[in-house]
Structure 1
Amino acid sequence: MAMNTPQGWLISYDITDRRRLQRLHRFLSKHATPVQYSVFHYEGSPAQMGQLMQSIETLIDPRSDDVRGYALPAHLSVDTLGRGKTSPDVLIHSVHSPQLQALLGPAKKC
């Protein structure tokens, strides 16, 4: 996949200090969509994800904190159990999902 092709990413974290935890949560809330406690969905290219992770690195203590970014497949299936089910009003799709492509219509060339 090209470095500028957008894709979905799952970002999760385990932060040991309350102040750093709040700082990282505020930062990610501006750049990604919260999915669950300490889990966010991010849409961007691998290069953009790399830049995001570099910014995150300045907010954490790598000796005691853990932040992970997982590339999501283009055709993602999500199963949930329990009270954490997403509201029916909320949809999270990768830019490559057929549902989102149907909503956006054909790409226009400039």
Structure 2
Amino acid sequence: MPADHFLKRQAMSDFIICYDITDPRRLGRLYRYLIKRAVPLQYSVFLFRGDDRQLERCIQDAIELIDEKQDDLRVYPLPGRGLKARIGRPTLPEGIQWSGLPAKW
């Protein structure tokens, strides 16, 4: 194992993964892949929590499911500190809370 492997940041971070897929078959494949690894927030928008290695693996696997010439896959890091809020309908059913998501504005 290379020495620089241990120098990489292994802290858990939050990322928004979103996509615009032109083909219904690829859309379904990507959705089924991401639903196992991230929390759906809206249609085509997911919250992923993991370290750099886990994110890289998730994105590399997702790239295999899309057509890079026709589809759009984006990843945005969320700040560790700062306002994270939602307005409107809850993401999860009533009575179920996940500490990574804000309860209210």
Q: TM-score, normalised by structure 1?
A: 0.73
CA apart distance, 1:86: 3.2
Other structure's SS at 2:47 match: strand
What is the aligned counterpart of 1:16 among 18, 22, 27? 22
Deviations 1:54-106 (A, max 9, x none): 10110000001011111111124233334x43345333518xxxxxxxxxxxx
The structure that is helix-richer by fraction is 1
Alignment partner for residue 74 of structure 2, among 26, 48, 68?
A: 68
Paired positions, count: 93
56 and 72 in structure 1: CA distance in 2 versus 1, 3 angstrom threshold: same
Distance 1:24 1:92, change over 3 A: farther
The one of 62, 82, 88 equivalent to 1:56 is: 62
- Structure 2 residue runs of 5 or longer lacking an equivalent are 1-7
Q: Aligned match of 1:7 in 8, 13, 29?
A: 13
The structural deviation recorded for 1:3 is: 2.9
SS in 1 for 2:48: strand
Aligned with residue 90 of structure 1, among 83, 97, 102: 97
Tell me the equivalent position of 1:105.
none
Q: What CA distance in whole angstroms lies between the structure 2 residues aligned with 1:45 and 1:80?
A: 24
User: Sequence identity, in percent?
Assistant: 38
Q: What TM-score, normalized to structure 2?
A: 0.76
Give ranges in structure 1 of 5+ residues lacking alignment: 95-110
The residue number in structure 2 matching 1:103 is none
Following the alignment from structure 1 to structure 2, what is the Cα–Cα distance between the partners of residues 30 and 93? 17
| CA RMSD between the two structures | 2.1
